[in-house]
C-alpha cells in the first residue's frame, strides 16, 4: 500500500490538490482493487500510510487535502502545507482574492471544496467566487479535468 500511495502523491500535478479519498481511490486502482475495495479497514490502512508520508514530507504530501479542502492537522503541517501550496499557485497568496488568483492562474474553472457551497464548479470569471474561502478552492483547466475529478472523488 505504501508504494501505491507514494506513487499517487508523486503523480499529483504541481499547483493541484487531491482529497484524501481521491488519493485512496487512485492507490486502490494501482493495487488492482478498484472502488469496491474501499471499506473502513482499507481507509484505515491507507490513511495511516498517508499520515506517515506526510510526517516524512514525502514528495507531493502537501497536495493532499481533506474532503472539504482543509489542510493537514497540526500547526506545523498546516503552515508548511499552505506555504507550499501558495508557492505552487494552488491557493491564493496572502491577501489575494479568489478572483485575482484565478486570473493569475489563467484558470478556466474554479471549484470549491466546502460542502456548504455544494462542491460547485463555475467559470473562473463568475463573480460568485469572490465570496469563496481562499483555502478551499481548486483551479481546473477544462471540463474534462472536472469530469475526471468527479469520477475519482465518487461524485
**What mean pLDDT value characterizes the chain?**
87
Largest CA distance in the chain: 44
pLDDT at 2 over 60: yes
Nearest to 28 by CA among 10, 48, 46: 46
DSSP codes joined into one string, 31-81:
TT--GGG-SHHHHHHHHHHHHHHHHTT-TTGGGEE-TTSPPPSSHHHHHHH
pLDDT band at 23 (very low <50, low <70, confident <90, very high): very high
Please compute the mean of the pLDDT values over residues 123-142 and round it to a whole number: 91
- What value, to the nearest 5°, has the Cα angle with vertex 76 and ends 120 and 139? 25
pLDDT at 155 over 80: no
CA dist 94 and 77 (Å) reads 18
Task: Round to the nearest angstrom and report the end-to-end CA distance of the chain.
Answer: 24
pTM of the model: 0.86
Q: Dihedral (C-alpha) 4, 87, 79, 63: value to the nearest 10 degrees? A: -20
pLDDT at 111 over 80: yes
CA dist 126 and 16 (Å) reads 20
Residues 27-86 pLDDT 10s: 988 988 876 667 778 888 888 999 999 989 999 999 999 888 888 887 678 899 999 999
pLDDT at 147 over 90: no
Nearest to 74 by CA among 44, 51, 46: 51
Amino acid at each position: 500500500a505504501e508504494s501505491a500511495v507514494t506513487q499517487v502523491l508523486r503523480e499529483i500535478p504541481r499547483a493541484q490538490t487531491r482529497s484524501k479519498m481521491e488519493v485512496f481511490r487512485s492507490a486502490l486502482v494501482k493495487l488492482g482493487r478498484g472502488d469496491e475495495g474501499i471499506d473502513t479497514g482499507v481507509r484505515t490502512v491507507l490513511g495511516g500510510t498517508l499520515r506517515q508520508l506526510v510526517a516524512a514530507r514525502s514528495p507531493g504530501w502537501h497536495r493532499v487535502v481533506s474532503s472539504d479542502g482543509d489542510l493537514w492537522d497540526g500547526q506545523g503541517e498546516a503552515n508548511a502545507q499552505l506555504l507550499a501550496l501558495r508557492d505552487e499557485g494552488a491557493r491564493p497568496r496572502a491577501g489575494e482574492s479568489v478572483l485575482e488568483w484565478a486570473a493569475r492562474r489563467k484558470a478556466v474553472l474554479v471549484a470549491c471544496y466546502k460542502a456548504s457551497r455544494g462542491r460547485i464548479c463555475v467559470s473562473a470569471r463568475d463573480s460568485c467566487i469572490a465570496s469563496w474561502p481562499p483555502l478551499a478552492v481548486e483551479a481546473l483547466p477544462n471540463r474534462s479535468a472536472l469530469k475526471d475529478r468527479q469520477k475519482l472523488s465518487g461524485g
